[in-house]
């Protein structure tokens, strides 16, 4: 008599699939970019190569299976006439790829010690320091940048083109 295999065992043997995890959330930035991409009538098969990824990768971002790298997210925003920005109220503090390079500067400008940011994110202070030091050489995911920005009391948003209005 054959034993029942777990989903993990089936995957390892290449038989069957594990159920799709419930509660997956698609990042609000990805939702906005995906909506704009659809409004422009741009299919994944056209957009993915412009981002340097496979259509299946773009699909995994759109469904919340994976978080896109922050820099590819900036490229996607630019492609559809939008831009990513870090804001405090109505003031734009940084935008696009420069956000990554300015993480430490933003934290210091707000007078927040590394330990406090780490506590807000529930991570070790060394992780905050590591992100600030390596973000330009080891590109972080969108979700990581957003968590850091949120811990600073700031907001990552999508703006229309060159004006300061938020994209919906």
Which tens digits make up the pLDDT trace of 39-53?
A: 999 999 999 999 999
Which of 130, 101, 129 is CA-nearest to residue 115?
A: 129
Share of the chain above pLDDT 70, in %: 82
Q: Please, is 158 exposed, middle or buried when counting C-beta atoms within 10 Å of its C-beta (0-12, 13-18, 19+)?
A: buried
Q: Where are the domains of the chain?
A: 26-160
Residue 123 is predicted with a pLDDT of 97
| pLDDT tens digits for range 54-71 | 999 999 999 999 999 999
8 Å CB contact between 66 and 60: yes
Of residues 102, 91, 73, 63, the one with CA closest to residue 155: 91
- Average pLDDT of the chain is 87
Q: What is the pTM of this model?
A: 0.81
For residues 106 and 93, the answer to whether their CB atoms sit within 8 Å is yes
Residues in the chain: 168
Q: Which helix (H) or strand (E) segment is 94 a member of? A: strand 91-95
pLDDT the model gives residue 23: 47
């Amino acid at each position: 008599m054959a034993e029942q295999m777990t989903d993990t065992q089936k995957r390892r043997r290449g038989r069957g699939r594990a159920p799709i995890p419930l509660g997956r959330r698609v990042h609000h930035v990805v939702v906005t970019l995906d909506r704009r991409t659809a409004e422009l009538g741009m299919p994944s098969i056209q957009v993915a190569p412009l981002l340097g990824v496979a259509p299946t990768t773009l699909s995994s971002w759109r469904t919340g299976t994976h978080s896109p790298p922050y820099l590819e997210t900036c490229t996607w925003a630019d492609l559809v006439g939008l831009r990513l920005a870090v804001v405090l109220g109505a003031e734009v503090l940084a935008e696009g790829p420069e956000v990554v390079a300015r993480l430490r500067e933003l934290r210091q400008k707000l007078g927040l010690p590394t330990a406090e940011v780490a506590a807000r994110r529930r991570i070790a202070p060394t992780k905050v320091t590591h992100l600030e030091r390596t973000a330009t050489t080891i590109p972080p995911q969108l979700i990581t940048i957003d968590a850091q920005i949120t811990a600073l009391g700031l907001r990552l948003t999508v703006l229309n083109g060159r004006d300061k209005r938020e994209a919906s």
